[in-house]
Amino acid sequence: MKILANFILFAFFLIFGDLFANDVDYNIRFYGYSHHLEKDWFFHPGLQIDRDSYLADWFISRTSIAVYRDSGRLIAGFFHAGFRINARKFDRFYIRLGVGPTFIWRQNWWIHKHDYDGNTFYGESYHSNRFEHAFLWIGGDIELEWRLDSGKRFIIATVPGYPVIFANSIGIRF
């Protein structure tokens, strides 16, 4: 029942954004260096695709999907649906602050990491499932967009997964 409720919530965000959208943009972002707070920096290659539906110039409905290699060098990813506040700063810079529910998943560290003892997002109880997953009611990111005179648009973003991780990405917007 809980999975069905989460699916309905994601479908609502997707449909709501499309029905009332004035315009639609896409981001393709590439993951790179990120860090665990007070611990380490690590390289985790990956790809994220965002679909933004403009409900107003300053208000965006976003759906996202991502797949990447996590800090344990295992496959991970997420599905996200939420809203963004889009603020123009100067002539060619935009700042977007986003929030919304996020379903995160990864290969099970309990199986692949012998010294693993759990964490804030996935829990601290051993299980032998192939994947770990969690549903976060409040997930999101902070994003900066730079528009060049040529019309190309570059994105840099961070996902503040406090208190565990900050995940950084760069990309293009079209």
What CATH number was assigned to the domain covering residues 2-173?
2.40.160.20
**What average pLDDT does the chain have?**
88
pLDDT of residue 119: 79
Supply 171's token pair: 């990309």
Q: With beta carbons less than 8 A apart as the criterion, state whether 169 and 157 touch.
A: yes
Q: Across-strand partners of 81?
A: 63
d(CA 31, CA 14): 24
Average pLDDT over residues 101-123: 88
Three-class DSSP category at 4: helix
Among residues 97, 29, 38, 39, which one has the least CA distance to residue 64? 29
Q: In this predicted model, what pLDDT tens digit does every residue of 27-73 receive, in sequence order?
A: 999 998 898 887 889 999 999 999 999 999 999 999 999 999 998 99
Which of 46, 102, 101, 55 lies closest to 73 in space, CA to CA?
46
pLDDT for the residue numbered 4: 65
- For the chain, the structural domain boundaries read 2-173
Question: Rg for the chain (alpha carbons), in Å?
Answer: 17
Asked if residues 56 and 21 have their Cβ atoms less than 8 Å apart, the reply is no
The per-residue pLDDT for 116 is: 87
